[in-house]
Amino acid sequence: MTEPKIRAIVWGCGHMGQIIIKYLKDKGVELVGAIDRNVSRVGKDAGEISALKRSLGTFIHHPDEAKQVFHKANANVCIISTRSLMIDIYDSLETSARHGVNAITLAEEAFYPWNTSPDLTQKLDKLAKEHNCTLTGSGFQDVFLGNLISILAAGTHRIDRIQAIIQYNIDGYGSSVAAQYGVGLSVEAFKQQISGYTEPFPSWYMNEWLCAHLGLAIRTQKQEFWPITNIKTIHSTSLKTDISVGSVTGMKAVVTTETEKGVIIENQVLGKIYTPDEIDTYECTLVGEPTTTLTIHRPATAQMTCASLVNRLQHLIDAPPGFVTTDKMQPPNYWM
Amino acid sequence: MTEPKIRAIVWGCGHMGQIIIKYLKDKGVELVGAIDRNVSRVGKDAGEISALKRSLGTFIHHPDEAKQVFHKANANVCIISTRSLMIDIYDSLETSARHGVNAITLAEEAFYPWNTSPDLTQKLDKLAKEHNCTLTGSGFQDVFLGNLISILAAGTHRIDRIQAIIQYNIDGYGSSVAAQYGVGLSVEAFKQQISGYTEPFPSWYMNEWLCAHLGLAIRTQKQEFWPITNIKTIHSTSLKTDISVGSVTGMKAVVTTETEKGVIIENQVLGKIYTPDEIDTYECTLVGEPTTTLTIHRPATAQMTCASLVNRLQHLIDAPPGFVTTDKMQPPNYWM
């Protein structure tokens, strides 16, 4: 590394933050601060609770002490992996910006927040410019639902439709996610409680990013939620109960974007309780001339998510000040 | 398109050139010249013999008349799809450069010719600079064995090994390719005639490109050729004969690169006469943290090759003068 050493604050020391702390250490990034609102983590050594499983001498503070952490740390990046929406991570981004510290977050909305939270994003953009730092969102979607599709497109003569399908086992994500996906509901109850859900699904922002990156103006964008049921009783480990035949075991969330140039972008996420023969898959098809389907079986999504973010740190530092979404940055690259 | 119109000469009107001519027309590129050494094509309307199958009013000339074609055409790009080696395409690149016309070629060696043909490449680099134009190589490898792997790497924390495997049916490429792959030979004869082959296999240049792009210094690079035999008699349509049990039905060509940083790059090409159940595949695995395998079944290689090249035309025009390999250009993108 010829660049000055990166000094990072990790805000959010849950599953993702714990992997990120290890990756930072592996890359020679110094952990100079750690913040988490979970009281069971506050006061602990961030290295010890991380995937690294050894002391780094950096202790976890509650968000109420965030200003003191920033004041002491002399950080040049802050990595936020807490919540999904701009409104929920606004305070952490604002705190970072006010201290002139570049921030990057896994929050799905931050990947492309310009349309869904324009006011918050413009406020943060202004603040970041005033304090000469950059704010952005990254993660799995930056590489696998953004730049990878863009490169695949470069090997295609004519694109009519871009279709991404991701399937994952929601039993690995705790009971609140299972409930959010309607697991255990009847199909009727799913239709009443889930189908009309209006808050943008995470892939909403990914389609918007892709359109911005490919230079496609959006004509319409919609989301639909379809219940998935099973023909055999299956057990949910997260809900600790059997899901009976005909009940909902998960859902298919489809975000469809029509563009002015006629290209359709469709993102399908299938989150469900698996039967024994099912595996996680990532699949992307460009329909056109020629039609190409690219598949990744059993993607290690959590590791890919954290690696994608950590590999972006140098770009974050080098980017101009403001809220700069990654569609406006150079493509991500492997950082050795 | 806000850029001035692209005016292209197509040099080489075989299988690839014929697809390229259609793609150019679809993208609004004007075909202003066509050259082919095959006397059965000379004098024909390039549009009519192309995948477009209709007249473009541009007639095919023999390479002996290349200077006149360039003189008349007022082209700003020349697309060369004739042979694989720098020494074999040197004249066409030189002619293009002397006329100040940017040239892009499918020739495998031109993808990264710096180590295997340094003198020719430097001579062309100098000439292109003198005439203020750019020369480069592109094709399938630019997207699928170069930039796609680079993006996949950006979603990986630690790479130990990069392994690309391409399998294709050599029966689709005529009898000379089948002979080159040792089809019909005994294993003994294969070992004597093919195994020690020293001319770089096409993937040789792809590994070098990838190392240059990822910033990996090469320690060693080697190629090995292994015969593939079959347990059942199979028919070769290109050789119009049955291949008996135990005889060679194709080969596996492996180019392995060891880098100073310890990352190994291995490119395997399996070219063989297929049994009925076999299909073309492209597979790339990054072994590390995490390990990820990306697969494309039945890639439409010819279309991908031509699309990758045509999508590069604007970058070719925008690049600085000289021989500029695509590892030094911005990543390829879909051109609408």
ipTM, 2 decimals?
0.96
The reply to whether B215 and B87 lie within a common domain is no
| Whether the predicted pLDDT of A219 surpasses 60 | yes
**If you average pLDDT over residues B95-108, what whole number do you get?**
98
The reply to whether B190 and B273 lie within a common domain is yes
User: A with B: how many residue pairs have Cβ under 8 Å apart?
Assistant: 133
User: What are residue B260's phi and psi, to 5 degrees?
Assistant: -60, -35
| Neighbouring C-beta atoms of residue B97, cutoff 10 Å | 28
**If you average pLDDT over residues B192-213, what whole number do you get?**
95
Lowest average pLDDT, out of A166-175, A286-295, A321-330, B10-19, goes to A166-175
Q: What is the CATH number of the domain that holds A95?
A: 3.40.50.720
pLDDT band (50, 70, 90) for residue A3 = low
Q: What pLDDT, on a 0 to 100 scale, did the predictor assign at position A1? A: 44
CA dihedral B56, B59, B65, B70 (to 10 degrees): -10
Element (H, E) at A23: helix A15-26
**Partners of A159 in beta bridges:** A288
A43-74 residue pLDDT tens = 999 999 999 999 999 999 999 999 999 999 99
| Gap from A285 CA to chain B (nearest CA, Å) | 10
Task: Let me know if residue A247 belongs to a domain.
Answer: yes
Domain around B184: 141-299
The reply to whether B210 and B229 lie within a common domain is yes
The reply to whether A134 and A36 lie within a common domain is yes
Task: Let me know if residue A213 belongs to a domain.
Answer: yes
Output the CA angle A235-A237-A240, nearest 5 degrees: 85
Query: Are B292 and A304 an interchain contact pair (Cβ–Cβ within 8 Å)?
Result: yes
Nearest to B155 among A143, A157, A336 (CB): A143
Task: Let me know if residue A198 belongs to a domain.
Answer: yes
The reply to whether B146 and B134 lie within a common domain is no
| Whether the predicted pLDDT of A182 surpasses 80 | yes
Query: Are B261 and A295 an interchain contact pair (Cβ–Cβ within 8 Å)?
Result: no
| Whether the predicted pLDDT of B56 surpasses 80 | yes
Task: Let me know if residue B264 belongs to a domain.
Answer: yes
Percent of chain B with pLDDT over 90: 91
Q: What pLDDT, on a 0 to 100 scale, did the predictor assign at position B1? A: 44
Task: Let me know if residue A46 belongs to a domain.
Answer: yes
pLDDT band (50, 70, 90) for residue B3 = low
The reply to whether B69 and B158 lie within a common domain is no
The reply to whether A119 and A260 lie within a common domain is no
CA dihedral A211, A91, A303, A294 (to 10 degrees): -10
Instruction: Spell B155-191 as b/e; 16+ CB within 10 A means b.
Output: bbbbbeebbbbbbbbbbeeebeebeebbbbbebeebb
Domain count, chain A: 2
Average pLDDT, chain A: 96
Q: What pLDDT, on a 0 to 100 scale, did the predictor assign at position B231? A: 86
**If you average pLDDT over residues B128-154, what whole number do you get?**
98
The reply to whether A281 and A323 lie within a common domain is no
The reply to whether A240 and A199 lie within a common domain is yes
Query: Are B151 and A151 an interchain contact pair (Cβ–Cβ within 8 Å)?
Result: yes
Percent of chain B with pLDDT over 70: 99
The reply to whether A196 and A275 lie within a common domain is yes
Average pLDDT, chain B: 96
Task: Let me know if residue A110 belongs to a domain.
Answer: yes
HSE on the CB side for B199, CA within 13 Å? 10
Distances (CA, A) of B236 to A68, A111, B177, B189, B248: 75, 52, 12, 19, 11
**Interface of chain B toward chain A, CB-CB under 8 angstroms:** 23, 26, 140, 143-144, 147-148, 150-159, 214-215, 261, 289-297, 299-300, 303-304, 306-308, 310-311, 331-334, 336
| Whether the predicted pLDDT of A178 surpasses 50 | yes
Q: Is the dihedral of CA B103, B319, A335, A141 positive or negative?
A: negative
**If you average pLDDT over residues B306-324, what whole number do you get?**
98
The reply to whether B205 and B317 lie within a common domain is no
- Residue B119 tokens read as 């003198």
The reply to whether A233 and A252 lie within a common domain is yes
Nearest to B334 among A26, A159, A307 (CB): A159
